[in-house]
Chains A and B, each alone.
Chain A
Amino acid sequence: MKKEAVSAVNTGKKKKIVEGVQYKLLSLLCFVLIIGFWCVASYGHLVQEVFLPSPTAVISKLFAMAADGSLWAHCKASIARVMIGWIWSVIVALPMGMLMANSKRFSAFVQPIIEFARYLPVVALVPLTLLYLGIEESQKYTIIFLGTFFQLVLMVVDTVSNVDVNMINAAKTLGAKRFQIYKEVIFPAALPGLIDDFRLTIGWAWTYLVVAEMVAASNGLGFMILRSQRYLATDTIFAGLIMIGLIGLVTDWIFRIINRIAAPWQERLGDSK
Chain B
Amino acid sequence: MASDNKNEIRLQVRSLGKVFGEGDLAVTALKDVNLEIRESEFVMIVGPSGCGKTTLINIIGGLETQTSGEVLLDGRPISGAGADRGMVFQGYSLFPWLTVQKNVEFGLKMKNIPSSERAAAARRYISLVGLDGFENALPKMLSGGMKQRVAIARTLANEPEILLMDEPFGALDAQTRVVMQELLAKIRTETNTTILFITHDIDEAVLLGDRVYVMSRRPGSVRDVLDVNLPGVRSHNSLVLPEFLEIKKKIMDMLWQESNDAAMGR
- Asked if A172 and B63 make an inter-chain contact with CB atoms under 8 angstroms apart, the answer reads yes
Residues in chain B near residue A164, CB distance under 8 A: 91, 93
A167 close to B (CB within 8 Å) = yes
Query: A164, A171, A174 — which one has the most chain B CB atoms within 10 A of its CB?
Result: A174
5 residue pairs from A and B, CB less than 8 Å apart: A164-B91, A167-B94, A169-B89, A174-B83, A176-B107
- Asked if A175 and B93 make an inter-chain contact with CB atoms under 8 angstroms apart, the answer reads no
Residues of B105-121 at the interface with A, using a CB-CB cut-off of 8 Å, are 106-107, 109-111
Residue of A nearest to B151 (CB): A170
- Closest Cβ–Cβ distance, residue A263 to chain B (whole Å): 7
Bound-state CA distance A143–B125 (Å) is 55
Total number of B residues with any Cβ neighbor in A under 8 Å: 32
Rank and list the top 4 A-B pairs by shortest CB-CB distance, nearest first: A175-B83, A174-B107, A170-B93, A172-B81
- Closest Cβ–Cβ distance, residue A196 to chain B (whole Å): 16
Chain B residues within CB distance 8 Å of chain A: 61-63, 80-83, 85-87, 89, 91-98, 106-107, 109-111, 138-140, 151, 154-155, 158, 164
Residue of A nearest to B158 (CB): A174
- Closest Cβ–Cβ distance, residue A87 to chain B (whole Å): 24
A266 close to B (CB within 8 Å) = yes
- Asked if A169 and B81 make an inter-chain contact with CB atoms under 8 angstroms apart, the answer reads yes
Bound-state CA distance A196–B80 (Å) is 34
Residues in chain A near residue B107, CB distance under 8 A: 174-176
A36 close to B (CB within 8 Å) = no
Partner pick for B87 among A169, A177, A180, CB 8 A cutoff: A169
- Closest Cβ–Cβ distance, residue B109 to chain A (whole Å): 8
- Asked if B158 and A175 make an inter-chain contact with CB atoms under 8 angstroms apart, the answer reads yes
- Asked if B97 and A172 make an inter-chain contact with CB atoms under 8 angstroms apart, the answer reads no
Partner pick for B140 among A174, A184, A185, A265, CB 8 A cutoff: A265
Chain A residues within CB distance 8 Å of chain B: 164, 166-167, 169-177, 180, 184-185, 188-189, 191, 263, 265-267, 271
Residues in chain B near residue A167, CB distance under 8 A: 93-95
Residues in chain B near residue A177, CB distance under 8 A: 110
- Closest Cβ–Cβ distance, residue B232 to chain A (whole Å): 33
Contacts A184-B106, A265-B97 given; does A172 touch B140 at CB 8 Å = no
- Asked if B95 and A185 make an inter-chain contact with CB atoms under 8 angstroms apart, the answer reads yes
Partner pick for B61 among A166, A173, A180, CB 8 A cutoff: A173
- Asked if A175 and B97 make an inter-chain contact with CB atoms under 8 angstroms apart, the answer reads no
- Asked if A180 and B81 make an inter-chain contact with CB atoms under 8 angstroms apart, the answer reads no
- Asked if A174 and B86 make an inter-chain contact with CB atoms under 8 angstroms apart, the answer reads yes
Residue of A nearest to B84 (CB): A175
Residue of A nearest to B111 (CB): A175
- Asked if B111 and A173 make an inter-chain contact with CB atoms under 8 angstroms apart, the answer reads no
Residues in chain B near residue A185, CB distance under 8 A: 95
Bound-state CA distance A136–B154 (Å) is 55
